Chains A and B, each alone.
Chain A
Amino acid sequence: MKYGGWLIAGVLLAALLVTPQLPFSNNKILTILIQLFIVAAMASSWNILAGFAGQVNLGHAAFFGLGALTTRLMWLDGYPLALSFVAGGLVAALFALAIGFPALRLRGIYFAIGTLALAEALNETVSNILPGNSALPGPQLVSYELPSRYYLALGVVLVVVAVAYWLTQARLGLGMMSVRENEAAAQAIGINAFRHKLWAFIISAFLAGITGSAFAYFHVSYYYQHTFTPLWTFDAVLVTFVGGVGTVAGPILGAIFFVVIRDVLATNLTNFHQVIFGVLFILVVLILPGGFLELWDRLRVRMTNSK
């Protein structure tokens, strides 16, 4: 990354760190930012498996849901938050490890369908076993405040982005990208394609799991099943593609755009943001396969050429 990129990232991070302390900061701003962090972390974690390793997982919500469920149950049961939080990620990662062995033998569209089916099965199971909603009990409700939720969610998105960035620099990430580019060729030069896909799956699932944990800590009351609904997957997919699949900054950019549009429109036209995002998704796939980041690249090339 160039000097300018680090500078922008540093300023942005400093601003996000002090936001809860600022005089004009209020619960609405914090809530929107927390939602932004969760969407960005979901998209970025999905991107690790799909964008880097080339495996389109349409069951990403399952890992988010497992992380949220684990953390919520443990935390409300009296376990320390930190432990419940890590456990959320670990349960999601273990689930990925278990289903990875059969699922990653499937290629392309079959992997996508397989993961979608698994996630839906889990979704149905959870809605049958835990049909009710989970509300914070009295003591937690009394001590509830937003800044700690804000910092946890911010921490999660920073971890996810840091891991994604590290992968672009590391051997493991380069191996994943070779599998995305051409699995047979990767194998022919001695890369263990299955192991790289499995690592990408486990890392992606762990990160989605702790994102779910942040969600579970954030919400006062929600239906258990809500975190397992496929919308979590599809939001992550849309956001990633609109921002730029296979890049570090793309999912973040897409998430900012998504949350802003959703918030602006939700106040006026309920759920209309989905129509806008759907249309945008189609446009991006057709004319801008690299997402917003490609637009930026093209502009930069044009600018340097015209000089």
Chain B
Amino acid sequence: MLHISRIDVAYGDLQVLWDVSLEVGPKSVVAMVGPNGAGKTTTLRAVMGLLRPAQGRITFMGQDITQTPTHEIVNMGLCLVPEWRGTFSTLTVLENLELGAFPKAARAKKTESMQRVFEIFPILAERQSQRAGTLSGGQRQMLAIGRALMLQPKLLILDEPSLGLAPLIVDDIFKVIKQISTEGISILVVEQNVNMALEIAQYAYVIETGRIVQHDTGAKLLTDERVRSAYMGI
């Protein structure tokens, strides 16, 4: 459903992505792994229209979105949970979730989506009138994912969902990601926590210094010599 084909992306004169191609099919979990500064977040920014590729094409559900404004891309059912989470700290949990259902298509299904989010994250229901800024890191990540789910997206993109979280919380988050994917939402997850990401991913891409250097099923990459030595220290 998402096709990134051969994009080059540059910040001004500084090129950071070369010939990156990636594909996410319907009802699948795809991971993109790689070290810091490899271009993972940049790829996602290009997909969301926050950056424009110099070369190449990005399509979503068969439609070219290479030049589409971000809010329209989101309207089409593609939603990003950024690595800095971007929850609105002075607004309440409830207001944050309501904002998630801002686009027209999502508005009609607001109550239904909210109920579902509260089922997945009961803690958010408990804390709905609390300001987002007073939540813990893990709760804030749940709120960010919950807010994205309010949109009832077709494809959910998660940028470093494990960043800065305690290992136990990371387990919880990945369980939820798995659960969401079984409900028919495709997921593209970008991670430095390679082990976790490859375990839940059907297919994965390894990106290094702006280039895709390897791609295969998650299971195969988990046992791959090179990946193991480079990313898991084994």
Interface of A toward B, CB cutoff 8 Å: 171, 174-175, 177-178, 181-182, 184-193, 246
B155 CB to nearest A CB, Å: 13
Q: With A177-B88, A182-B86 given, is the CB distance from A189 to B50 under 8 Å?
A: no
Chain A CB count within 10 A is highest, among B79, B80, B102, for: B102
Q: How far is the CA of A257 from the CA of B224 in the complex (A)?
A: 70
Closest chain B residue, CB of each to CB of A192? B71
Q: Which of B75, B82, B95, B98 contacts A188 (CB 8 A)?
A: B82
Q: When A and B form their complex, what is the total count of cross-chain residue pairs whose Cβ atoms lie within 8 Å?
A: 69
Contacts of B99 in A (CB 8 A): 174-175, 178, 186, 189, 191
The reply to whether A177 and B87 form a contact with Cβ atoms under 8 Å apart is no
The reply to whether A191 and B71 form a contact with Cβ atoms under 8 Å apart is yes
Can you list 12 contacts pairing A with B, beta carbon distance less than 8 Å?
Answer: A175-B102, A177-B88, A178-B102, A184-B50, A185-B88, A186-B88, A187-B50, A188-B50, A189-B102, A190-B102, A190-B151, A192-B69
Per-residue CB contact flags for chain B residues 67-100 toward chain A (1 = under 8 Å, else 0) read 0011100110001111011111111000100111
Q: Which of A177, A187, A189 contacts B147 (CB 8 A)?
A: A189
Contacts of B80 in A (CB 8 A): 188
In the assembled complex, B148 has its CB within 8 A of some CB on chain A? yes
A295 CB to nearest B CB, Å: 18
Interface of A, helix, strand, loop or mixed by DSSP: helix
Interface of B toward A, CB cutoff 8 Å: 48, 50, 69-71, 74-75, 79-82, 84-91, 95, 98-100, 102-103, 106, 147-148, 151
Q: How far is the CA of A32 from the CA of B50 in the complex (A)?
A: 51
Contacts of B151 in A (CB 8 A): 189-190
Contacts of A177 in B (CB 8 A): 88, 90-91, 95
Q: With A188-B82, A189-B147, A190-B74 given, is the CB distance from A182 to B102 under 8 Å?
A: no
Contacts of B85 in A (CB 8 A): 185
B159 CB to nearest A CB, Å: 10
A172 CB to nearest B CB, Å: 11
The reply to whether A185 and B87 form a contact with Cβ atoms under 8 Å apart is yes
Q: How far is the CA of A189 from the CA of B99 in the complex (A)?
A: 8
A298 CB to nearest B CB, Å: 15
Q: With A171-B102, A174-B98, A184-B82 given, is the CB distance from A190 to B75 under 8 Å?
A: yes
Q: With A171-B102, A175-B102 given, is the CB distance from A188 to B88 under 8 Å?
A: no
Q: With A178-B88, A184-B82 given, is the CB distance from A191 to B102 under 8 Å?
A: yes
Q: How far is the CA of A182 from the CA of B87 in the complex (A)?
A: 8
Closest chain A residue, CB of each to CB of B80? A188
Q: How far is the CA of A246 from the CA of B89 in the complex (A)?
A: 14
B184 CB to nearest A CB, Å: 20
The reply to whether B95 and A189 form a contact with Cβ atoms under 8 Å apart is no
The reply to whether A185 and B86 form a contact with Cβ atoms under 8 Å apart is yes
Q: How far is the CA of A171 from the CA of B100 in the complex (A)?
A: 12
Contacts of A246 in B (CB 8 A): 90
Q: How far is the CA of A77 from the CA of B100 in the complex (A)?
A: 51
Q: Which of A171, A178, A192 contacts B91 (CB 8 A)?
A: A178
Contacts of B50 in A (CB 8 A): 184, 187-188
Q: How far is the CA of A174 from the CA of B101 in the complex (A)?
A: 12
B141 CB to nearest A CB, Å: 13
